[in-house]
Structure 1
Amino acid sequence: MSTVRVGAVTFDWYPFDPLVRRISEAAVDGGDDVDVICLRQESEQKSEVYNGVRIFRLPMNRGFGQSLPLTLLSWAWFMLMAGWVLTWRHLRRRYDVIHVHNIPDFLVFSALIPRLLGAKVILHIQDTAPELMVAKASGRKGALIFRLACWQERISCAFAHSVATVGWPFEELLLQRGVPKEKITIILNSADPKLFPEERRCTPPYTVAERTGQAETTPFIIMYHGTLAERNGMDIAIRALAQARQTVPQLRLDIKGRGEHLAYLKQLAQELGVQEHVVFTDPCAMEELVDFLLQGDVGIIPYRCNGFSELVLPTKAYEYAWMQRPMLASDTKAIRSMFRGESLILCDPERVESFAQAMIDLYQQPELRERLVTNALEDYTPYRWDAMAQRYRQLLYTLAHPNRAPEVALSQQ
């Protein structure tokens, strides 16, 4: 397959963002040429080559917890800077495809000049902006914010030649909002086997302790990794842990992540008297995340049931399934679109006691844990990352060479 020159843009750090990283490295692994323009943390170099991907970092931070006006200004300023770098690079080396990752959707207009000069443009919708903005908004501003977010999503999708998204619920929404079906490609944010090698799978620590007679002195670890925002519901998990520990004192909750809710979560754990049993750690390099997963016994996804979280297919669900860890999760439309009810424990996101009982059940029933692991892996297997990577490479090739016959046949499952 001919080499495709790709310029990618993301309002995030690289290689911190897992989807942008695995998408970019999938293209490089397929013989394509990839630049990524992204944010820069103080400790990072302005530019470098990482696993074959050229990175150009701009001196900006994400600004967790900023007000909406400041966030919009940050996005707009980054769009202008990224557009300048993208245009400069395009004039030097002529990109075939510009791949822009939201949020925001209007970041796609950083590709304006390359598009006018012939480059094809992908808008990758990892999160639907209208639902996410409303989930963050408060009061009567929500309706206005939703309309404005829908408007910018609509013109951004119209500007792009192709729209990629991360799951069926998002595809359904985009179709309802007028994006043509033939313009949409679903690329699930599956677990990257390079970062989560199959040979690293192992029996959960507590299960080993049960089999060796050490269960009474071994903690039963429930784990979460990712963004710590109110919509992600980790306060529900902490409250559930406090309830469940009254029955099962071996329970522990390990949380790896950062976000505007972190300080509140630490305070809540202290107020509930479980600060010694809730372990907070900072985010780590993607290569180290597998170690965090293997040290835990059960994964938890306690997302609140709002218009946004209802639609999100969390990457961590794929990672838990692939690394054979049982899950308890909020009963949402997105989760049900991927996993059967017998593949994980579905909990009522409005009821702390639902999560507490699930924690107790998983602790007390090793055969239930084994059954959930088997079923979840079976559900996930058709959507492994190797299939998604091939689908992405075919999309790049089709956009870059529209008049040539496809070299790889793919199906939109």
Structure 2
Amino acid sequence: MEETRKNWWQRKNKSQKISFIIAQVILLLSILALFGLTFCRQIFGDNVGDLVLGKDVDNGFVLIKRLFAYSGNKILVSFVTVFVTIILTFVFNFIVRLCTKGGKKAQTIGSLIRSLIKYVAVLIALTIILATWGVDISSIIAGLGVLTLIIGLGCQVLIQDVISGLFMVFDDYFDVGDMVIIDGFRGYVSQIGLRSIKIDDRLGNIKSINNSSITSCVNLSREDNTVAIEAEADYDEDPRRVEAVLLKELPKLKEKIPQCIVPPTYIGISNLGDSGIFYKIYATCKAPYRFQLERDMQRELYLIFLNNNINVPYNCITVYQPNEEKTVKASEQEKKISEDHEKALRAPEKVSKRKKNIFQHVKEAYDEALEETKKEAQANKDD
């Protein structure tokens, strides 16, 4: 027994241990607070007792007795209402679960109905309890129009979530149990509610996403998934031999890897990499097995290459050291030819003068005659 308890504690991770300790501390503090409230007069004196319990009340048990004496029926009805609501909710949810086991679509509708039952049950129980304590329900119903307007303005996001959830269910985007990618998060749909859906990645992480915030969704469970695997072989290997080996060995993998729906198919050379040639293979499976299929295929392809003496390349670094003795230096003539070529490239380009046509000559002669006439007129004026 002691060993079982020890193993139970050791199986918990760090966060689970911290959460367990915090829960126990909160429970202990709650018990102490309840004890302090019940016997506050005996612990803290009459002043605190009068303030908390009231005058002429010795302890909390006397207060509870008086409450039941004055309003025992109301308290009893409230407790009965809560109890009956919980029982009926459980029964209806159980019936819905039994009636919606026929498939993913039925489970999706069942999840939506259970969410609706929860909200309706809480609303009905709250109405009955308020009526039991003398609250005028008719005035609340009369003001329901104003309340609906206020709720509509203040809970627009909630209304959007509910409407989006209904559209998702009736448009059949996905069902409970489908593998989906929603806004970059991959997992299985574990629950569909009126306001949100829950995605479980099967690694201990459950993400809740509001229905109205879903912008993109990829359903991986509706059709068979195709997995692309690339196997790299050395450049020294004859591609025709590698392809022949793959075409011979790939059909045998259907028996070794049961997740394959059909035997893997060789497509062709996909890339000429830095170290080798990549050969692409396609395999088909169901969505839950795609990652395991990829790992199994990588292993089997390596074994195929290993058993058929096909080299798999790996990265290597070659350090180059220059040999000055083998370096041929340029002769004087070669140096001169190179320098002359550089000077020719760097010399400024000569701008060729364009020949003037007859109209340009006439214009220049006219301008010169006009300038001489102006000078003569100026000289005569000075005389």
TM-score, structure 1 normalization: 0.19
| Structure with bigger RCO (C-alpha 8 Å, 6+ apart) | 1
In proportion to residue count, which structure has more helix?
A: 2
Structure with greater Cα Rg = 2
